Amino acid sequence: MFHGSIVALLTPFKNGKVDEAAFQSFVEWQVAQGTHGLVPCGTTGESPTLSHEEHNRVVELCIEAAAGKVPVMAGTGSNSTEEAIALTRHARKAGAQAALVVTPYYNKPTQEGLYQHFKAIHDAADLPIFIYNIPGRSVVDMSVATMARLAKLPNIVGVKDATADLARPSRLLQEVDPDFIQLSGEDATALAFNAQGGVGCISVSANVAPALCSAMQTAWAKGDLKEAFRLRDVLAPLHDAMFVETSPAPVKFAASQLGLCSDDVRLPLVPASEAARSAVRAAMTRAGLLK
């Protein structure tokens, strides 16, 4: 169900509140542009600064706007196991097809702690779960052995791998069922990740270049390597620009340039600097997104 170009959705704000109309319009545009799946309330969606009520509402709005046309993987992670369970239960009730659960940040659990955290969520919420392994933000790295152990649980179905370790998917394939879904969390190496055993990417750049990201993944799946590599190279400067400053400030500015939403972010993040804005505009122009 989850493959290809899956967008890590930004959350539009207006006057300090979630801009519900802009968000649903944005989701509908993503579907029309060919995005293969949607992830609300991830890091790109500024989940750390959403209240529980806002978090749940954004998930509901996404599912409603998607209207069953593409699957929704709701971000439900937390460094509190009980909070992650509550968010995952809500996602299931709301109609999400899966949950994306990040490794607990700040706590720095052991590998056994990671296993028990995910097992507790698995046992408490009847919903397929993707492990989100992102050491750069959570300061803990789930080992291949721990992930393989979790993969034996029936509802642990895949991983969003943001380690930037391109040997990791190949190593994991040796330890898990071939049906275990490996998705990249790094736009710049998405095709290389596929070559190592992945089947798609949960993408930041797809917020503003959904058609290009989708076309690249589709070309790869069809074996059209020439086209996949061409699109990879078209997108490369954009991927760099999306992280010229802390995400999602650059991608929100990029979205504002397309008239999709404002570039408002919540503290402690601040809007992209002028230097970052210049870099984003240049990359968007080079990719054909702006004239």
For 145-203, the pLDDT digits (tens) are 999 999 999 999 999 999 999 999 999 999 999 999 999 999 999 999 999 999 999 99
Mean pLDDT estimate for the chain? 98
* pLDDT value at 291 more than 90: no
| Predicted TM-score (pTM) of this structure | 0.97
What per-residue confidence (pLDDT) applies to 11? 98
Q: Which residue numbers belong to the known binding site for pyruvate? A: 44, 202
Domains and CATH numbers, the chain: 4-224 (3.20.20.70)
- 27 confidence band (pLDDT: 50, 70, 90): very high
Q: Is 160 tagged catalytic?
A: yes
Q: What is the phi-psi region of residue 204: left when phi exceeds 0, alpha when psi lies from -120 to 50, beta otherwise?
A: alpha
CA atoms of 75 and 96, how far apart (whole Å): 10
* pLDDT value at 1 more than 90: no
* 162-176 pLDDT, tens digit each: 999 999 999 999 999
Active-site choice (69, 108, 160, 291): 160
Active-site choice (115, 132, 222, 226): 132
Q: Is 93 tagged catalytic?
A: no
- 248 confidence band (pLDDT: 50, 70, 90): very high
**Which of the 8 DSSP states describes residue 34?**
T
- 143 confidence band (pLDDT: 50, 70, 90): very high
Cβ atoms of 77 and 102 closer than 8 Å: yes
How many other C-beta atoms lie within 10 A of the C-beta of residue 271? Answer: 17
CA atoms of 103 and 141, how far apart (whole Å): 8
* 80-121 pLDDT, tens digit each: 999 999 999 999 999 999 999 999 999 999 999 999 999 999
